[in-house]
Amino acid sequence: MIIVKLIGGLGNQMFQYAFGRKLALTHQTNLKLDIEELSSKIEKDDFTLRNFDLSVFSINAEIASSDEIKRFQVTKTTKLLHMLSLNFPIRPRNFYLREPHHHYFVNALKAPTNTYAYGYWQTEKYFASIRKELLDDFKTKHELSDVSKKIAAKIIDSNSVSIHVRRGDYVSNAMNFKIHGLCEADYYLRAIDSIAEKVKDPCLFVFSDEPSWFKENIKSNFPVVFVEHNQVQNSYEDMILMSMCQHNIIANSSFSWWAAWLNINENKIVIAPKKWMNESPKNTKDVIPETWIKL
């Protein structure tokens, strides 16, 4: 049995699921999800409260019970021993795997059959080999709303480019702003220019929690469609719509990262910010896939 702890919003949960799915497939065992932190609703100063969002997808996992989770609980002292044991053939029966750093950890996929994984796992290096399975897993259980279907028709009928502008809690939460920072207007202007050099007559589809910022700061000669109808409870529809675009300009956000990764256009151009985090000791060199353009 593989258990992964879910933390953060939809994009983060997708990274955690994808890592767990790879481990589970490797060992031909069940994948279970620890959602206790998501369901606790305990306010934390440095985190935005989140819900269990993966339920909208056709995921191949069950919710872990409290008893199953307790099997893997270890003290702070033994956490180090569990991590060190990744390098040795003798391991605890119930293995606790904590992500040691933000970049790719080569030994993580050597974890044994009974593993509890805690981390963000934000690189496709963990799960690129099961892309086909993940594309199936991340298909939605529900049809798009009528409004989203109309947007989808426009996307399909044009040289569509999604632009994701993430502000929201990156602005309102001081800790989030300190850690993540923001993609400024210069990044989006350079990204649009880069796309325009390669794509004839692009049509820009803007997805943002603060569309007024884009309207005030980004001027473009290309047609722009603002996608503003989806609310928090169906924000996954924005991800699906972005993934349907021919090309993607993403923010420093796991939400639009996944929209671009789910894009099945073999000739897609994906532009991502070179600086993924602001003031952070985390090494994010493996977050952006090698085929994407970093600006």
**Interatomic CA distance for residues 53 and 7, integer angstroms:** 11
Task: Kindly tell me if the per-residue pLDDT of 41 is higher than 70.
Answer: no
Whether domain 144-294 has CATH 3.40.50.11350: the reply is: yes
Token pair belonging to 63: 């919710």
Alpha helices, DSSP H only, in 106-234? 131-137, 146-156, 168-172, 174-180, 185-198, 211-217
How many beta carbons lie within 10 A of that of residue 295, not counting itself?
16
Q: Are 183 and 214 in contact, with CB atoms under 8 Å apart?
A: no
Higher-pLDDT residue of 109 and 92 is 109
Residues 69, 38, 240, 214: is their CA dihedral positive or negative? negative
Could you read off the pLDDT of 185-221 as tens digits, one per residue? 999 999 999 999 999 999 999 999 888 999 999 999 9
User: What's the pLDDT score for residue 233?
Assistant: 79
Q: Binning pLDDT at 50, 70 and 90, where does residue 178 land?
A: very low
> At 187, phi and psi to the nearest 5?
-60, -50
Exposure b/e, 108-131, CB count within 10 A at least 16 = b: bbebbebbbbbbbbbbbbbbeebe
